[in-house]
Amino acid sequence: MTTEPLLRVENLKKHFPLRGGVLGKEIGQVKAVEGVSFTVQKGETLGIVGESGCGKSTTGRMLLRLIEPTEGDVYFEGKNVTDLSKTDLRKMRRDMQMVFQDPFASLNPRHTVEKILEEPLKVHGIGSPAERKKRVRELLEIVGLSSYHAKRYPHQFSGGQRQRIGIARALMTRPKLIIADEPVSALDVSIQSQVLNLMQDLQNEFGLTYIVIAHDLGVVRHISDRVGVMYLGKMVELTTSERLYDMPLHPYTQALLSAVPIPDPTFEKDSIVLQGDIPSPSNPPSGCTFHTRCPFKMDVCEQKVPLLQEQEEGHYVACHLYSKDGQAASQNIDKPEEVKI
């Protein structure tokens, strides 16, 4: 942990304006991401989980500046991505590529696979036409397709094969970091495991670093070294995947983990069913944004925003149950350690 991380994100924010009225005046803001910080070491996989609207996809896109951050910094290999000019940013994107969720919408239906895969090389001016064609065929083989697939169109492939093409496209420029936004959620179970295995193989072979954004907690545990949990635009817990799944500290993480159905009918679990829905990010609750649904709510939770603090080594949590403000008030409240999952 002493070396400079591959990616360092500091206090990243994104507020989308809400417009209304005849003149389209700004009448409010949707605070999609509200101060997220984390680091990613070279060669590791960071998983980001959360439910819809928690800001995980917006965070992923801001790292590449596909969405411009409102505030905050992203350092890639020590360089601040948010300060880069358009030309420099384009060069930087050679090293940071993205794999999208929907393998049907993210490939141009009018281009052959060859053209789709060649495009990133052309954009970045890499190689001669012959070299580019060779690389296309090489990568098709790497992701488990055949070189004769190069002349086909996206509609001729199944969902799993399309996702392989999406991964091949991301690999064309030999990137260091790949941000995968829900890479397997559109796929059938039997195909999902093929793609997850492929991603792991590629990581071992090319020393890739991944940020995997997903809502499926099983998938995230399987592929990640460390996992961050987001709720309403904030990172509420961040630690290694073993610790997070075995000893979750934040009440939201505990509830989230206990809500996942386990494919084993004889498995008995103590499920914590959360009441209510996720509040709207345009009007988030005061203090800790989770206090409206939290089973361990204290008075302090309504007033003060809990900070993401290191509770144990490498285990960060943003909850008053573990903060100084909360400790004082929590004398007579059951500690969540008693909740087993």
Q: How far, CA to CA in Å, does 340 sit from each of 49, 120, 336?
A: 20, 48, 9
CB hemisphere CA count around 230 (13 angstroms): 29
Coil, helix or strand for 66? coil
Alpha-carbon torsion angle 119, 123, 128, 129, nearest 10: 30
Residue 163, interface with other proteins (CB under 8 A)? Answer: no
| Smaller CB separation from other proteins, 41 or 200 | 200
Residue 166, interface with other proteins (CB under 8 A)? Answer: no
Size of the site for other proteins (CB under 8 A): 43
Chain positions 189 to 248 lying near other proteins, rule: CB under 8 A, are 189-194, 196-197, 200, 215-219, 221-222, 241-242, 245
Residue 3, interface with other proteins (CB under 8 A)? Answer: no
Residue 274, interface with other proteins (CB under 8 A)? Answer: yes
Residue 267, interface with other proteins (CB under 8 A)? Answer: yes
Chain positions 81 to 100 lying near other proteins, rule: CB under 8 A, are none
Q: How far is the CB of 102 from other proteins (least distance, A)?
A: 14
Q: How far, CA to CA in Å, does 295 sit from each of 268, 273, 320?
A: 21, 10, 13
Q: How far is the CB of 164 from other proteins (least distance, A)?
A: 11
Binding string, residues 9-38; x marks residues near other proteins by CB under 8 A: ------------------------------
For residues 298 and 276, what is the distance between their CA atoms, to the nearest angstrom? 18
* 131 sits in which H/E element: helix 129-142
Two tokens, residue 111 = 């281009």
For residues 208 and 171, what is the distance between their CA atoms, to the nearest angstrom? 10
Interface residue with other proteins among 22, 148, 265, 332 (CB under 8 A) is 265
Coil, helix or strand for 210? strand
Residues lying near other proteins in the complex (CB under 8 A): 51-52, 158, 160-161, 188-194, 196-197, 200, 215-219, 221-222, 241-242, 245, 255-267, 271, 273-274, 277-278
